[in-house]
Amino acid sequence: MLTYIFVIAITAEAMSGALAAGRRNMDLFGVALIAFLTALGGGTVRDVLLGNYPVTWTQHPLYIYLTIGAGMFTMLIARFMHRLKQIFLLVDAMGLVAFTIIGCDVALRLDYATPVVIMAGITTGIFGGILRDIMCNRTPQVLRHELYASVSLLVALLYLGLRALEVNENLNLLVSFMFGLGMRLAAIRYQWSLPVFAYDNDQWED
């Protein structure tokens, strides 16, 4: 099941990357590259950090075609995308949660300590979006919006907690997934957000 969600999720992330590239007037190639990076960049950073070679997507060329294809497709349907906003946010939320769980699994398989497993989950969940924003020369959105990265953290904690309690793996997956999805959708609906740290002291170092 996680694989299906993963495939849907990388498609959604690729589309979000393509839209961001469009806002910077990038060409066809830029759109393809940003789509790819947004969808698969988080997992790539995780693999490189953990030394998990070969990097996942290099073993699944299908993901390359899929994300680039989704980016191209987005160029065609962009003018209708605002009507799809609700669906898009739903799929993006599914992606965030699925990426997080997959990221934890990879680090668990490599026997990393629990805090590293959590960081691997979060990295997989949010770093694609961070790379997208760096490439598009804007401050990463995932660190300023309603609960997003925090949902990734909570999902990782719940998933590892239930695992420590030896809850059945499939049940754990289901519970963690539904919880994360619910949290993210509620955060969007009710505009939950973390306290913001607004620091503005120009005397102090640029």
Residues 6+ apart with CB under 8 A from 64: 36, 40, 57
Residue 106 near its own copies by CB under 8 A: no
Binders of its own copies among 145-184, rule CB under 8 A? 149-150, 153
Residue 65 near its own copies by CB under 8 A: yes
Q: 8 near 94, Cβ under 8 Å?
A: yes
Residue 193 near its own copies by CB under 8 A: yes
Out of 5, 70, 98, 136, which residue is the one contacting its own copies (CB under 8 A)?
136
Residue 115 near its own copies by CB under 8 A: yes
Residue 31 near its own copies by CB under 8 A: yes
Closer CB to its own copies, residue 95 or residue 173?
95
Out of 9, 18, 98, 106, which residue is the one contacting its own copies (CB under 8 A)?
18
- Residue matched to tokens 């073993």: 59
CA 161 to chain centre: 21
Integer angstrom CA distances of residue 194 from 19, 178, 181: 26, 21, 18
Distance in angstroms (rounded) separating the CA atoms of residues 49 and 54: 12
Number of residues that bind its own copies (CB under 8 A): 68
Closer CB to its own copies, residue 75 or residue 90?
75
